[in-house]
Amino acid sequence: MENVDLQAFTLYWLVIWAVLGSAITPLIFDHKHRSPWRGALLGLVVGAASGQLFGRVILVLLMPVVPQLATWLSMLGGLVLLLPLWMFVKPVQQTSPAHQGFVAGTITPLTFYLLLLSVFPLAWALLLAFFDYSPRRAGGPILGLGEGNPFVGLQYFQTMISGEGRDGLIFQNSFRNTLLFTALVVPINMLITIPLAAMIESVHSFMKTVFRTIYFLPVVTSSVGVAVMWGYIYNTQYGLLNGVLSSVGIQPIGWLQDPRANLLGVPAALIAVVIAYLWQDFGYNLVIFIAALQNIPDQMKEAARVDGASPLQVFWYITLPLLRPTILVTSVLTVISSFQVFDLIQVMTQGGPGRIGQTRVLVLDIYENAFRFEKMGWAASISVVMFLVVALLTIIQTRVLRTQWEY
């Protein structure tokens, strides 16, 4: 048992049998004319309890005998109570069965999955934001909090506001960089994708498919691969960009390394990352806008042309207002994704250049504090602030761009 990670197996037993129990039991209950929703709840509870209890029992009993198979056989612990439940549940007479077993067996596991892997981590992060927590320190009996991981209250948030110490200074720098990155990405993305989508929508259907495919290819490309490629383009010694500049007599520029390089006060490294991010990401919004343009009634455009409107006027006064709901969706998604940027910056600049990092963003700050410095409480407090800021920006965008009409 010394080599077995019981915490990992506890999670396995919970997830596997809670999901299977809540997915299969509703189908059986529905077949026997019983309430599938009651079956989903019962299967969830019984599966989770049986997996935890008998998974551990099987592991303890069989580990000394067959250590190679014990861990695998422990995964069958959920069947101990679920099989009798499935076999011996009594059918009832029902004149008009609802036949919602498939619905209940699909929605319930997905709901459990979201609660376990989304809502619970969010609540855990919110709790950790008030503790000086590190997994290496021995804490109290409840979730390892207290004692070696003391309660600090609002101290982290006060440090963020005041900017005191190294952590506060780096946070404020990361926060500014994230806001600047988002402020550059969102409008440039819209300025590229909306006109380009309108132009692609006006060509032949075959060419439309070709352009849509080509522009969407970077979206499905690995972010690490994109970062490596653009890193070579920006390389000071043998990069493509500096090669072009050298051919016209301009000295090579350290795009990703020189903290003094800037454009209109914006660090060159941050602009370089923005360009790489836009190159990879704009195809996603482009496809959405093309689909939205296809749903705009042609009669509205034709009526405007009959009234003497130019193509530019048709786009400005007809197409663009009708795209407002789509602009809302894409702008919200783009803001969320730009706040979550990590892999491009981690590979291209590691948050540098500069002493505190000209491209250091909130997610990189969270990652390093949580997994490099093991300051989980501080990292959790940063994640809470980022969540609140994204939620606030989403509300503002919804208020500004929402419409009261449909077409």
Calculate ∠ Cα 324-330-124, nearest 5°: 130
pLDDT, tens digit, 9 for 90 and up, residues 60-76: 898 888 888 888 899 99
Query: What are the strands, taking DSSP E only, across 133-280?
Result: 262-263, 266-267
**HEC secondary structure over 229-260:** HHHHHCCCCCCHHHHHHHHCCCCCCCCCCCCC
CB atoms within 10 A of CB 158: 12
Flag the least confident range among 2-16, 250-264, 265-279, 380-394.
2-16
Overall average pLDDT of the 188-197 stretch: 93
How many angstroms separate the CA atoms of 250 and 110, rounded? 57
Question: What is the b/e burial string over 279-290, where b = at least 16 CB atoms within 10 angstroms of the residue's CB?
Answer: ebbbbbbbbbbb
Q: Which of 166-175, 226-235, 268-277, 309-318 has the lowest mean pLDDT?
A: 309-318
212: Cβ–Cβ under 8 A, 6 or more apart, which residues?
Answer: 200, 286, 287, 290
Q: What is the pLDDT of residue 5?
A: 73
- Tokens linked to 260: 């003094």
106-161 tens-digit pLDDT: 999 999 988 888 888 889 899 999 999 988 887 787 778 888 889 999 999 999 99
Cα distance between residue 349 and residue 270, in whole Å: 9
Radius of gyration of the chain from Cα atoms? 28
Q: How confident is the model at residue 96 (pLDDT cuts 50, 70, 90)?
A: low
Confidence at residue 377, expressed as pLDDT on a 0 to 100 scale = 93
Residue scoring higher pLDDT (100 or 185): 185
Contact 48, 113 (CB under 8 A): no
What is the arithmetic mean of pLDDT over 230-241? 88
The percentage of the chain sitting over the pLDDT mark of 70, rounded to a whole number, equals 97
Dihedral (CA of 300, 306, 307, 310) sign: positive
Digit-coded pLDDT (tens) for 111-123: 998 888 888 888 9
Q: Is the model's pLDDT at 2 over the cut of 60?
A: no
What is the average per-residue pLDDT within 277-305?
Answer: 89
Residue closest to 255 by CA, chosen among 243, 265, 242, 238:
242
What does pTM read for this prediction? Answer: 0.84
The domains located in the chain, with CATH, are 6-128 (no CATH), 163-401 (1.10.3720.10)
Tokens describing residue 221: 């490309």
Cβ neighbours, 10 Å, residue 44: 23
Amino acid at 313: Q
Number of Cα atoms under 13 Å in the Cβ half of residue 58: 22
**CA dihedral angle for residue 24, residue 28, residue 29, residue 31, rounded to 10 degrees:** 140
Judge contact between 339 and 388, C-beta under 8 A: no
Q: Is the pLDDT of residue 32 over 60?
A: yes
Cα distance between residue 395 and residue 400, in whole Å: 9
Residue 314 pLDDT: 84
CA–CA separation, 179 vs 287, rounded Å? Answer: 26
On whether the CB atoms of residues 328 and 167 are closer than 8 A, the answer is no
Confidence of residue 95 (pLDDT cuts 50, 70, 90): low
From the list 58, 78, 82, the residue with the least C-alpha distance to 70 is 58
392 in Cβ contact with 399 (< 8 Å): no
Calculate the alpha carbon distances from 351 to 170, 203, 217, 341, 345 in Å: 11, 42, 27, 11, 6
Percent of the chain with pLDDT strictly greater than 90: 52
C-beta of residue 192 within 8 angstroms of C-beta of residue 278? yes
pLDDT tier for residue 182 given thresholds of 50, 70 and 90: very high
Distance CA 79, CA 86 (A): 10
pLDDT the model gives residue 407: 58
DSSP bridge pairs for 98: none
CA distance 151 to 231: 43
> Where residue 97 falls among pLDDT bands split at 50, 70, 90?
low
Rounded to an integer, the average pLDDT of 252-275 is: 89
Give the bridge partners for 267, in sequence order: 262
